[in-house]
Amino acid sequence: MPVQVYDLSIPPFQIRLETDISLVSDSIEKLYSKENLLIGNENQFFDFHIKVTTPTLYRKYFRPQAQFFSDGKAPFKPLPISQAYPFFEWGLNWCIASYTYQYLILHAAVIEKNNQAIILPGKPGAGKSTLCAALVCSGWRLLSDEMAVIDLQTLELLPVVRPVSLKNESIEIISEFAPDAEFGDTFFDTAKGVVSHLKPPEESMKNNRRRAKAHTIIFPQFTSQADMKLTKKSRAETVLELARNSFNYSVLGQQGFDVLCELVTEINCFEFEYSSLDEAIKQFETLIEKK
C-alpha cells in the first residue's frame, strides 16, 4: 500500500500519522470521524509525528512486523503486523505521557453528563473501560477512557476523545449491552489479549474541545455476582491512589500534589463494586442528580 498521511486533530493535540499498512488506515477510517481530519492549510504544527510501518523490507514479507516511530525514533520493539493499529494507539499514549507536562495526567476514564464529570481511575482489569463504554453508550459524554487530563490552573478536565479500547470479555459484554455501538476490527493475541475499539458517539466527538468540571471520583471494581456497593473513600487515600495512577505526577512535583489536593477538596470520592452494568448506570445517574 502506498504511504497514507493522516493529519489528525485530537484536541488538545495535533498528530501527523504516516502509514503504509492497510490495517492501520482501515481502522483509522473506521474509528475516527471527519471532525478528526485537518484539511488543507500547509502551515500546521503537529505535536507528534508518528509513523507506523514495517521495520525492514525483510519484515514486510517474512513474519511481517509493524514498527512505531515517533519523529523517526523507535521507542519500542516491533510487533506482529496484525497488531499494527493497537500499536498506534499505545504509541500515541506513550507520546502524550512522555511529552506532556503542562497538564496533570491520571490513568483514568472520564465521562460527563449535565456538565458533571466523573473520573474513573482504574487498575488494569478493574473494569474501568467496560463501565466507561457502557456509560458512553447510554448517553454520557466521553472525555477519555484512558487519561484524565487536568488543567493545572483551572482544574478543568480536558477531553482527549479517542476510540475506547476494550479487552477480552468486555468486547462481547458491550456489543450485547449496546447492539448499535460501532466497533473497529478485533485484534487477537496482543500483549493485553483480544482488543477491539469502540467508536466514540457523535455527540462526544462534536464536543471534543469542551472541558468539564470533576464532580465525583469513583474507583470501580467489577466482581461477578457481587451486590452493588458504593463506599466513601477518604480524600487523603484518594490523593495517594491517584498519584500512584498518574502518568506524570512525579515530574510535576509539588504542583502535582497541590493540584490533586485541590481537585478532591470539594468532591466526593468512592469505591464502587458492581456486577451489573444497568445497575451501575442507574447509580451514576443518581449521583449526579443529588447535588
Binding interface with other proteins (CB under 8 A): 14, 42-47, 49, 71-73, 99-102, 250-253
b vs e for 30-66, b when ≥16 Cβ sit within 10 Å of the residue's Cβ?
ebbeebbeeeeeeeeebebebbbbbbeeebeeeebbb
Q: Which is nearer to other proteins, 184 or 256 (CB)?
A: 256
Q: In the structure grid, which three cell numbers stand for residue 113, read together?
A: 453528563
Task: Give min distance, CB of 49 to other proteins, in A.
Answer: 7
Task: Give min distance, CB of 178 to other proteins, in A.
Answer: 36
Residue pair 145/107 in contact (Cβ under 8 Å)? The answer is: no
Q: Which is nearer to other proteins, 42 or 180 (CB)?
A: 42
Q: Return d(Cα 103, Cα 101) in angstroms, integer.
A: 5
Q: Return d(Cα 31, Cα 182) in angstroms, integer.
A: 8
Exposed, middle or buried by CB within 10 Å (0-12, 13-18, 19+), for 253? Answer: exposed
Task: Give min distance, CB of 48 to other proteins, in A.
Answer: 10
Task: Give min distance, CB of 247 to other proteins, in A.
Answer: 12
Q: Which is nearer to other proteins, 57 or 180 (CB)?
A: 57
Determine the 3-state secondary structure of 277 from DSSP.
helix
Sheet with 65-70: strands ordered across: 4-10, 13-19, 48-53, 65-70, 79-80
Q: Which is nearer to other proteins, 219 or 249 (CB)?
A: 249
Q: Which is nearer to other proteins, 14 or 168 (CB)?
A: 14
Task: Give min distance, CB of 152 to other proteins, in A.
Answer: 9
Q: In the structure grid, which three cell numbers stand for residue 225, read together?
A: 455476582
Q: Which is nearer to other proteins, 48 or 87 (CB)?
A: 48
Q: Which is nearer to other proteins, 104 or 118 (CB)?
A: 104
Q: Return d(Cα 33, Cα 141) in angstroms, integer.
A: 16
Q: Which string of DSSP letters, residue by residue, matches 71-122?
A: TTB--S--EEGGGHHHHHHHHHHHHHHHH--SEEEEEEEEEEETTEEEEEE-
Task: Give min distance, CB of 43 to other proteins, in A.
Answer: 5
Sign of CA dihedral 204, 153, 213, 263: positive
Q: What residue type is assigned to position 35 of the chain?
A: E
Task: Give min distance, CB of 139 to other proteins, in A.
Answer: 33
